[in-house]
Amino acid sequence: MKLRATSHPEIGSVTSAVVEAEEGRDDEGPRWAWLPPEDRLWRHPSEVGATSSAAASTWRRSSPGHAWTTALVAGVLGALLASGVGMAAGVFARHDVAVRVPVPTPGTSVAATTAAADPNGSWPAVANAVAPSLVGIEAGGQMGSGVVYTAFQDNTYVITSADVVGDGHQVGVVWENGAREKGHVVGADPATGIAVVEVAGAGHPTPVFGSAADLQIASGVLALGARSAGPASVAPGNLSGIDTSLQSPGGYTLQGMMAISGLTVSPPADGGALVDSAGEVVGIDTDLTSVDTSMQGLAFAVPIDTAERIAAEMVAGETPTDPWIGVSGATDLSTTTSAQLHVTGGAAVDAVSPGSPAARAGLRVGDIVTGFEGQQVVSAGALIAILASSRPGERTTLSYLDPNGRRQRAQLTVGALGGGD
């Protein structure tokens, strides 16, 4: 949490409105004058009975220490009163900021976080900030990358792409300083394309994890591979899709993927970090290409919300749940359309899988999802983030606008991707 210092105007010279300084008084004369006894709320015993004229003509030199003490106390009281008035009037508004960090399973310890990246989005600064949390992964004679996720029982867990580890159980892990260790593949989830590798030792730096909910189409992003994986793999691009379905050459479908234009994920960067301009990891890179010709030329990444959920379940020894409702494509609602429909945003449905929970609930192409599980959906990324926190079998409510702008609500049961309902 950051503290902002509030400055107050300096206290100026204090003069009496009743007693004026005598002309011609030398520099050694008093700087301050007491008010006449009759104008004060208190009097010294020696002043009792004294005439006002005698009191007015009598100078009493005040101690500089007392004067400064009086001024200081007045200033502090003034500041406190101003603060109280400001708080009562709402001048000092309280802003609740949600801070999202990796939540390890009980008994874990989170490694040191990398320094914040350049707030102006300087890609070199971002790359340097994230680099210590990236590792090279050797598997099957190929070199890929991974992102340090968390530590548990003196072991470090690394998130990577499932195609990096393949069918292997042991991989080599290469730290930024060139040190090499053996890593154990905890698991790989073909439904999401995420794998987790365990390596002995803790205390390795982790990056700052963001969320797909904070992303917008055309946002600038940077694909980063581990420097230990070979020549520096750094490629900037722009988000062209946040909830995209990818038909892979291997014959399976990855849903809820992020599509990036203007960059190519090279093999050394496969499994590395996709970061935003603030240096937060928002996805895990993959070098998979789509068999759909209309999507060739795009790079893809798994949203970090999905990757973190898979990693947490694997670290806990659980089978990945892969919550799914069947919205296989969604785009952000434009500002103009949001204003016309009097909503703050939404996820416009581009495709609905036949027989899916969303289809059975009545959702159709062209509908606009505005709420899910009691939470507001303002973008496609927000829908991904909320769904990532769901579990198959949960009964929930979906709020949406139909193509005519009418508000609709439907009940559905969250399913499991690739595992039926």
Q: Tell me how far apart the alpha carbons of residues 76 and 173 are, in angstroms, rounded to a whole number.
A: 58
> What does the pLDDT look like over 89-123, one tens digit per residue?
333 332 232 333 334 433 333 434 444 444 455 88
Using the predicted structure, report yes or no on whether residue 33 has a pLDDT greater than 50. no
**What's the pLDDT score for residue 265?**
86
- 314's CB contacts (< 8 A; 6+ apart) are 157, 186, 187, 189, 196, 320
**What's the pLDDT score for residue 232?**
63
Q: What is the mean pLDDT of residues 198-202?
A: 93
Q: Tell me how far apart the alpha carbons of residues 241 and 260 are, in angstroms, rounded to a whole number.
A: 7
Give the residue among 95, 403, 142 at the shortest CA–CA distance from 269.
142
> What does the pLDDT look like over 264-314, one tens digit per residue?
888 899 999 999 999 999 999 998 877 677 787 899 999 999 999 999 999
Give the CA angle between residues 235, 237, 241 to the nearest 5°.
Answer: 135
Using the predicted structure, report yes or no on whether residue 421 has a pLDDT greater than 60. no
The residue that leads in pLDDT, 417 or 211, is 211
Q: How confident is the model at residue 370 (pLDDT cuts 50, 70, 90)?
A: very high
Q: What distance, in Å, lies between the first and last C-alpha atoms of the chain? A: 42
Q: What is the mean pLDDT of residues 326-354?
A: 91
Indicate the residue type of 179: A
Using the predicted structure, report yes or no on whether residue 60 has a pLDDT greater than 70. no
**What's the pLDDT score for residue 173?**
97
The residue that leads in pLDDT, 289 or 142, is 142
The residue that leads in pLDDT, 195 or 101, is 195
**What's the pLDDT score for residue 97?**
28
How far are the Cα atoms of 18, 208, 354, 417 from residue 361, in angstroms, in the given order? Answer: 82, 37, 11, 17
Average pLDDT of the chain?
77
Lowest pLDDT segment from 36-45, 107-116, 254-263: 107-116
Using the predicted structure, report yes or no on whether residue 230 has a pLDDT greater than 90. no
Give the residue among 255, 248, 137, 143 at the shortest CA–CA distance from 196.
137
Q: How confident is the model at residue 363 (pLDDT cuts 50, 70, 90)?
A: very high
Lowest pLDDT segment from 35-44, 287-296, 312-321, 399-408: 35-44
**What's the pLDDT score for residue 325?**
94
